[in-house]
Amino acid sequence: MADRPATLRDVAAAARVHPATASRALNPETRLLVSEDTARRVAAAAAKLGYRPNPVARSLRTRRSHTVGVLIPDLNNPLFPPIVRGLEDKLAAAGYVALLGNTDADANRERMLFEQMRARHVDGFVMATATLHDRMLAEAAAAELPVVLMNRLSQDYSFPSVSVDNEQGARMAVAHLARLGHARIAHIAGPQEASTGVSRLRGFRDGMAQHRLTVNEDLVTYASRYTVEEGAKCCRELLARRESGDDAAFTAIAAANDMLAVGCYAAFDETTLQCPDDLSVIGFNDMPFIDRLRPPLTTVRFPHYQLGTEAAQLLLERINGGEGPVKILYLAPELIIRGSTASPAHRDAAHEPAMSQEPADPSAADAPAVHT
């Protein structure tokens, strides 16, 4: 019918009221300012004309774009799709849309995307890329732009955030290996600019101490990025050091995340070493399809989709004027035992896959827990 989309004026004309009145009648927050009767008339006119409010005009007037910027390292990391879906689903339910930006762990790219999104007047940011001392965070705070951190935290400023309890997860990984009888355990640490790398390393040391195991510093390597390639590189280094003496004859590797663990698989493929017969490997994240690898990876799981929805929730609270205390939300990790970990003693008997109970640790709750 109408080639030119109906505007508020058209609706007002059809309902024989002033545009301002039509606006009030249509907006849920101001409907109570107009009489029942006119509200109904306006609604009817709007329906008949197929009126759709123009969000651009509204944004210009209200200075709220109903868009949020979401900065992640790389959508190709299988960890992120479910998180992003959680985020988008929750935001969509509140009438918001997400502008996605992949930083590729490049500070310049990150800064550029941040600027571009600010220019587009996003109402807030969800950042999964924050490094520990992030200038952009200070900037966003100064501009009073709501920011929620996801997956990683910041030390300098206290921002609302959602993440898994990384230390606890790393401790659970070490405990699992220790229970199997491993004593010399290597660690492939994540980037130390990110809180996940730091926390998981700390959890690793902590877990080792709890089990009266010594951390051999030669058996702690540092990945510069969370990629399969970096994992393979670090694993090769570890394997090289393994020759160097009894102290270095580790039997298991705790990787700071699943990508690094997959890198270990790749490194093993270059040798005659078999997992878990010769070496056990444990990851972190339980990313999609990791249970179908050869062997299925033992890892530490957290609820990805929910991480996204909770982050969205926190951001929406801030956007909607929430001036309350800053919430730091931790989701409980859960140990998922699969075929990549086995007892080091049973080198010959270990050819069948390890038992696979899911969830393995009954003490790991599914529900999120607010710490502090």
Partner DNA sequence: GTGAAAGCGCTAACAT
Partner DNA sequence: ATGTTAGCGCTTTCAC
- The answer to whether 102 contacts a copy of itself (rule: CB under 8 A) is yes
Contacted by 370, from a copy of itself, DNA, none: CB < 5 to 8 Å by type: none
Q: How far is the CB of 48 from DNA (least distance, A)?
A: 15
Question: What does the DSSP 8-state code read for residue 36?
Answer: H
Helix 36-49 to helix 19-26 angle (10° resolution) is 90
Contacted by 262, from DNA, a copy of itself, none: CB < 5 to 8 Å by type: a copy of itself
Closer CB to DNA, residue 43 or residue 293? 43
Choose the binding region for a copy of itself from 39-47, 160-168, 196-204, 288-296 (rule: CB under 8 A): 288-296
Task: Report how far residue 8's alpha carbon sits from residue 6's, in angstroms, rounded to the nearest whole number.
Answer: 7
Question: What does the DSSP 8-state code read for residue 32?
Answer: G
Q: How far is the CB of 12 from DNA (least distance, A)?
A: 7
Contacted by 19, from a copy of itself, DNA, none: CB < 5 to 8 Å by type: DNA
CA angle 296, 302, 307 (to 5 degrees): 135
Closer CB to a copy of itself, residue 89 or residue 229? 89
Antiparallel, parallel or unpaired: β 125-127 and 67-72: parallel
Closer CB to DNA, residue 8 or residue 332? 8
Query: How many angstroms separate the most distant Cα atoms in the chain?
Result: 90
Contacts to DNA by CB under 7 A: 4-5, 7-9, 16-21, 23-24, 26-27, 30, 33-35, 37-39, 51, 53-54, 57-58, 60-63
- The answer to whether 1 contacts a copy of itself (rule: CB under 8 A) is no
Task: Report how far residue 354's alpha carbon sits from residue 273's, in angstroms, rounded to the nearest whole number.
Answer: 17
- The answer to whether 76 contacts a copy of itself (rule: CB under 8 A) is yes
| Interface pick for a copy of itself out of 28, 292, 323, 367 (rule CB under 8 A) | 292
Other CB atoms within a 10 A radius of the CB of residue 190 amount to: 28
Helix 36-49 to helix 8-15 angle (10° resolution) is 120
Confirm if 190 and 197 have CB atoms less than 8 A apart.
Answer: yes
Closer CB to a copy of itself, residue 115 or residue 156? 115
Identify any residues that bridge with 188 across adjacent strands, giving them in sequence order: 221, 255
Q: Is the previous residue joined to 53 through a cis bond, with omega within 30 degrees of 0? A: no
Q: Give residues in contact with a copy of itself (CB under 8 A).
A: 52-57, 59-60, 65, 74-76, 78, 80-82, 84-85, 88-89, 92, 97-100, 102, 116, 118-121, 262, 265, 288-289, 292-295
